[in-house]
Chain A
Amino acid sequence: MTASDALSILKGAGATLTLSVLGILLGLPIGLALAIARWAQVPLLGRIVALYVSLLRATPLVTLLLLLFFALPNVGVPIGPYSAALLALVMNTSAFNCEVWRASLLAFPKDQYEAAQSVGMGAALRFRRILLPQIARASLPGLVNEMSMLIKVTPVLAVVGVVDITRAAQRVGAETYEPLPPYLVALAIYVPIVFALLMLQRWLERRQSKAELAS
C-alpha cells in the first residue's frame, strides 16, 4: 500500500467527518425536542414520540438506511446516498439522544422550575435560562457517548454508495490485493477519534460525580 493509497483513504475521511458532524449537530436539538414533547406530556404528540423513539432505537442503522435509500424514491421522494445516509444518522441518533435528554429532564428538581414559575418567568424563559443550562450539563456524558456511537456506525454508509473511509479502504484493498492494510489504516483513523471521545466522556462523568458530592 502506497502513500497515495493512504491519501485516498484520508480523503474518504472527509465524507465520514462531514456526515458525522452534521448528524451529531442535527441530532442534538431534534433529540431535545422529542424529549420535551414527552416530558411536557403534550397529549397525542407525546405518545407518538414514545412510539417513534422506541421503534428507532430497536432498528439497526443499516436496515433504516436501506429502507430510506430504496423506499423513498419508490414513493416519489428522490434521495441520493449522502442524503439518505444523513437522514438515517439523524433519525437514529436523535432517538437515542431523546432518551438521554429525557433522563436529565426527569431528574430535574421540580422546585427549581416552580421557583421560576413563581417569579413570573414564562415558558420560554424557564426553558432557556433555568432548564436548558442544567440539563445540558447533566446530559453531556450521555450525549458524548451517543456521539461516539454515531461515529462507530458510519462505516456502514458505504453500503449505499457513500465514498467514505470504509469505501476508500475497500477500493484500495481491491486494487492492491492486500485487503488488510487499508482496513488497518481505517482503524487507525477511527480508533483515536472514538478514544478521544471516550476520554472526554469519562472526564465529564468524573466531573459530574464530583459536583454531586460537593452539593
Chain B
Amino acid sequence: MIRDFGVVWSERGLLLEGLENTAIIAVVSAVLALAFGAVLTPALRSRHRLPLWLARTFVDGMRCMPFLLLVYVIYYGLPSLGLRLDNWGSGLAALVLYNTAYMAEILRGAWEAQAPEPAEAGVAFGFHGLGLFRRIVLPPLVLAAGPVIGNQMIQIIKDSAFLTTIALSELTHAASSIQSRHYVPFAAFITAVFLYWGLCLLVEAGVSALGRVAEVRR
C-alpha cells in the first residue's frame, strides 16, 4: 500500500496538472456564471411577463436537468446541429450554462432578503437602471449571498469531475489515468478525494473571510 502511494507520488505531476485544470475550469465557470447570473437576476424579479417567464423557464429547466446529460448534449449532440465544441469548450459551456441558472436564483433569493432602504436611497440620489444595480444593489448582495455562493462553488468543483467522461484532463481523469496504468486504484483515487477536500476547505475558508469582511460593513 505504501508502495502504491509512492507510485502516485511519482506521478504527482499529472495529478497536480489535473488539480490545476479542475481549479481553472471551476474558477472560470464560477466567475462567468456569477456574471451572467447577475444579468439574469433582474429578469427573475421583473414585473413584465415575458422576461420573467423566459428567465424562470431557463432557471427551472437547468435545475431539473442532470448536469452530465447537459454535457453530453453539448459535446455529442450539438455537432449534429453544426456546433462542434471540444472537450474544454463543452465542459466550460455546460458549467457556465448550468450554473448561470443557479447563480441567478441565489442572487434573487439574496436580493429579496435585502432591506429596501439602501436601494431606495440610491434612487433618491439619482441612481437608476444598470448603474443602480451595479454600484448600489449588487455589492451587498454578493456579500450577503457569500455562503450560498460558496456552496455553489463547491458544487461546481464537484461537477467538474463529471467532465472526465468527455476526456477532459481534470483531477479525476488524472487519477483514473494513473490508476489504469499502474494498478493503484485506492492510492490514486483516495489522493484525489483528499485533494478535492482540500479545494473545498479552501472555498469554505474564503467564504469565512468574506463573511468577516461583510461583518465589518454591516
A and B touch in the complex (CB under 8 A): yes
Chain A residues close to B by CB (< 8 Å): 54-55, 57-64, 66-67, 70-71, 74-75, 151-156, 159, 166, 169-170, 173, 178-180, 183-184, 186-187, 190-192, 194-195, 198
Number of B residues with CB within 8 Å of any CB on chain A: 44
Pick from B65, B73, B185 the residue with the most CB of A within 10 Å.
Answer: B185
Pairwise interchain contact A153-B66, C-beta atoms closer than 8 A: yes
Pick from A67, A166, A195 the residue with the most CB of B within 10 Å.
Answer: A67
A54-B197, A59-B197, A63-B175 known; A190 and B69 CB under 8 Å?
yes
Q: What CA separation (Å) do A202 and B130 show in the bound complex? A: 31
Pairwise interchain contact B154-A58, C-beta atoms closer than 8 A: yes
Residues of A within 8 A of B171 (CB): 63
Q: What CA separation (Å) do A54 and B194 show in the bound complex? A: 11
The reply to whether the CB of B64 lies closer than 8 angstroms to some CB of chain A is: yes
Listed from nearest, the 8 A-B pairs whose CB atoms lie closest are: A60-B161, A70-B185, A180-B77, A67-B189, A71-B186, A58-B200, A71-B185, A60-B158
Pairwise interchain contact B80-A179, C-beta atoms closer than 8 A: yes
Residues of B within 8 A of A191 (CB): 61, 64-65
The reply to whether the CB of B78 lies closer than 8 angstroms to some CB of chain A is: yes
Q: What CA separation (Å) do A189 and B190 show in the bound complex? A: 34
Chain B residues close to A by CB (< 8 Å): 60-61, 63-69, 72-73, 76-81, 154, 157-162, 164-165, 171-172, 175-176, 179, 183, 185-186, 189-190, 192-194, 196-197, 199-201
Tell me the minimal C-beta distance from A106 to chain B in angstroms: 17
| Chain A contact surface mostly | helix
Pairwise interchain contact B161-A63, C-beta atoms closer than 8 A: yes
Known: A152-B65, A183-B69. 20 other contacts (CB 8 A): A55-B194, A58-B154, A58-B197, A60-B157, A60-B161, A61-B161, A62-B165, A63-B193, A66-B189, A67-B193, A70-B185, A71-B185, A154-B66, A155-B68, A155-B69, A156-B162, A166-B72, A170-B72, A180-B80, A198-B63
Residue in chain A with minimal CB distance to B199: A58
Q: What CA separation (Å) do A4 and B130 show in the bound complex? A: 53
Pairwise interchain contact B196-A63, C-beta atoms closer than 8 A: yes
A62-B165, A180-B80 known; A74 and B185 CB under 8 Å?
yes
Residues of B within 8 A of A54 (CB): 197
Residues of A within 8 A of B186 (CB): 67, 71, 74-75
Residues of A within 8 A of B199 (CB): 58
